[in-house]
Amino acid sequence: MDIGGLIVGLGNPGTEYSRTRHNLGFMVLERLLQDREKAGVLQKLSGRKNLFALWKARFADADGAAGDRLLCEPLTFMNASGEAVRAVSSYYRILPERILVVHDELDLPPGRMKMKKGGGSAGHKGVESITQCLGTPDFFRLRIGIGKAPHNTLSFVLGRFSESEAELMDKCIAAATESVLMLTREGAAKAQQFCNSFSLY
C-alpha cells in the first residue's frame, strides 16, 4: 500500500471526554473525515482495539496528483498517544517528516493556530509521548489555541467550551481542516503561511 503520510488527531476516547478542549485534535480529524467521506474518497481500515482507529483517504497532492494518506485517532488516552502513532507509522513505513499531529495548545489564545515542524512539546503530554515513541521531534504539528488555564490546567483542558467559545472553536476547526487540505494540496510552506497568519480577532 503506497501511503503518502499520516494525519493524527489527538484526544481522549470515551463520551465523557467528547468535545472537551483536550479533544480538539479529534474534532478536527472528525471534520476531515466528514470532508473526505462527502468526496467519496474515504475508507475505514482495521484498527487495533484500545490502540487506534484508522482510515485511508485520497487527497490532492502538491504536484497535482492524487495520493493516499492515513487518518488516525489514538485510543490510548492522551499520555500514551505515541504508542498508536509508532504502531501505525512503523507498520506502514511512514517517516516522521510525513506525519502531521493536530492538537490543542495552551500557549496560543483561542482563535489562533500555528503549524510547525519539530521543536519542543510545550508540556503537551500527547506530543511528548509521540516524540518519545518515534525517537525524534521532527514531525509536523498543527497547534490550535485554547488559551492559558485560569485555574488547574488538567481540569481546564478536560473541560468543555462555553457556548460562545464553542462557536469560536467551530470556526477554528473549519480553518484547521482547510489547512490540512492545503498541506496535502499545496505543500507545507503554503499551509504554514495560512495557519500562522490565521486569527479571528
Strand partners, 141: 101, 116
One-letter amino acid at 26 equals F
pLDDT digits (tens, 9 = 90+) for 126-154: 999 999 999 999 999 999 999 988 888 88
Residue 193 makes CB contacts below 8 A (sequence gap 6+) with none
What pLDDT band is residue 47 in, cutting at 50, 70 and 90?
A: confident
pLDDT digits (tens, 9 = 90+) for 68-117: 999 999 999 999 999 999 999 999 999 999 999 999 999 999 999 999 99
Residue with cell 503554503: 190
With residue 170 as reference, give the H or E element that holds it.
helix 163-186
What pLDDT band is residue 64 in, cutting at 50, 70 and 90?
A: low
CATH 3.40.50.1470 fits 6-197, yes or no: yes
The pLDDT value recorded for residue 141 is: 97
What pLDDT band is residue 10 in, cutting at 50, 70 and 90?
A: very high
With residue 33 as reference, give the H or E element that holds it.
helix 24-38
The pLDDT value recorded for residue 88 is: 96
Which residues have a catalytic role annotated?
A: 22
For the chain, what's the residue count?
Answer: 201
